[in-house]
Amino acid sequence: MKTAHYTAYGPPSTIAFRDDPVPTPGAGEVLVRVHTAPVTAGDARMRSGRVPRGLGLMVRLALGLTRPRVAPGWAFAGEVAAVEPGAEGFQPGQKVFGLKGFKGGAHREYLTIAATGTILPLPETLDFRTGAAFFFGGLTAAEFLIDRARLQPGERLLVAGATGAVGGAAVQIGRHLGARVSATASPANHALARQLGAEAVSDYRDQPPSGPFDVIVDVMGKLAWPGARPLLAPGGRLVLITADLPQMLGAALRPRRDGRRILTGTNRDDLPSMRRLVDLHLAGAYTPALGPVLPFDQLAQAHSLAESFHKPGNIVVEMAA
Ligand SMILES: NC(=O)c1ccc[n+]([C@@H]2O[C@H](COP(=O)([O-])OP(=O)(O)OC[C@H]3O[C@@H](n4cnc5c(N)ncnc54)[C@H](OP(=O)(O)O)[C@@H]3O)[C@@H](O)[C@H]2O)c1
């Protein structure tokens, strides 16, 4: 089978393909024939080692000091090819989707995963492409809006950077929770932002939209506290999805400022969070925006697009039609 590998930290050309034996699932595991996988901002950051200021050393300690020692590919959609004894709940031929997490291993034609791990049946309302695009961004938006910012019906939500993986999910879930959603996006994406559920859309390169807002989701961290503070209502919450180390430390040490709050950090990517996102989807709250779909052998091009930070939704590569 064809597998992708990172040969060094660096540009997309550091991705190489190899022929490897199809893995043998162990007890309690399923073998999945991967049809599609997303190529996310996270995948691109792991490959390049380019992360927000101050986080580089921590990331290299976790991923590998001199090269990424993780395998490419955070998530997958595909079909069950084999089920080992003890792997309850799955049958050969069943459509599934799931996460290999930050250690990766989804950018390949077959993978193994524990049946009790981060794998779920693919709902009939999703195909392999939207299934691959489903979790990255959706999990982040759901956790930050529901658990951390505790967005309430009738509140005013601004999603700054509204049509990528995280922003596109935040607009939809915010709307579902009953918020009045404003968005910023580049002009080419204004129609998409409205389609996802934003009532008012403006260009982030112009003046910021006039507040006040109860919750601001700052996807790229470009507003940050100085830019967001004048737009936040009393009791307002700033969600910094992208934050550098000083911002993270600042938010941890002084989360409350002027009667407002800063929330940041990373989201969980566990089975309960995945199940909740599926429930939100089935309730009509969220369907991922699908970006470009490329063949698997164009993985490097997909990485270039992902690290532009101007893609709609999630980019997907296809291993099998
Ligand atoms: N905290 C966490 O747990 C977590 C989880 C997931 C992702 N992230 C981080 O979140 C960020 C976004 O990830 P993503 O997958 O959503 O990226 P993405 O799909 O590339 O989306 C980026 C979005 O930001 C917008 N944007 C680009 N430049 C901007 C600017 N100067 N001002 C305002 N908006 C701008 C883009 O709009 P246009 O396309 O219209 O230009 C697009 O909507 C990445 O830094 C990623 O590492 C963090």
DSSP one-letter code for 188 = G
Ligand 1 site-directed mutation target among 145, 166, 203, most atoms within 8 Å of CB: 166
Determine the distance separating the centroid of ligand 1 and the alpha carbon of 268, expressed in angstroms: 18
Question: Taking 80 as the threshold, does the pLDDT of residue 262 lie above it?
Answer: yes
pLDDT confidence band for 296 (50 / 70 / 90): very high
Handedness of CA 151, 155, 159, 160 (dihedral sign): negative
Ligand 1 site-directed mutation target among 53, 220, 270, 316, most atoms within 8 Å of CB: 220
Atom of ligand 1 nearest to the CA of 310: 39
Tell me the pLDDT of the chain averaged across its residues: 97
Strands 29-39, 232-240: pairing kind: unpaired
Q: Check residue 168 and give its pLDDT.
A: 98
Q: In this structure, are residues 27 and 84 in contact, taking their beta carbons and an 8 Å threshold?
A: yes
Determine the distance separating the centroid of ligand 1 and the alpha carbon of 67, expressed in angstroms: 25
Domains and CATH numbers, the chain: 2-135+289-318 (3.90.180.10), 138-263 (3.40.50.720)
Query: What's the rounded mean pLDDT across residues 124-145?
Result: 98
Instruction: Return d(Cα 83, Cα 149) in angstroms, integer.
Output: 40
Single out the residue of 51, 49, 81 nearest to residue 65, CA to CA. Answer: 49
State how far the alpha carbon of 317 is from the alpha carbons of 43, 78, 259, 289, in Å.
Answer: 13, 12, 45, 15
Q: In this structure, are residues 199 and 238 in contact, taking their beta carbons and an 8 Å threshold?
A: no
Q: Check residue 321 and give its pLDDT.
A: 67
What's the token pair of residue 234?
């009393």
Query: Which residue's alpha carbon is nearest to atom 34 within ligand 1?
Result: 161
Instruction: Return d(Cα 253, Cα 66) in angstroms, integer.
Output: 32
Q: In this structure, are residues 200 and 211 in contact, taking their beta carbons and an 8 Å threshold?
A: no
Question: Taking 80 as the threshold, does the pLDDT of residue 75 lie above it?
Answer: yes
Atom of ligand 1 nearest to the CA of 140: 5
Determine the distance separating the centroid of ligand 1 and the alpha carbon of 41, expressed in angstroms: 8
Handedness of CA 139, 141, 146, 148 (dihedral sign): positive
- Does the Cβ of 140 fall within 6 Å of ligand 1? yes
What's the token pair of residue 135?
């979790």
Query: What's the rounded mean pLDDT across residues 240-250?
Result: 96
Q: What is the pLDDT of residues 184-201, one digit of tens each?
A: 999 999 999 999 999 999
- Does the Cβ of 137 fall within 6 Å of ligand 1? yes
SS3 259: coil
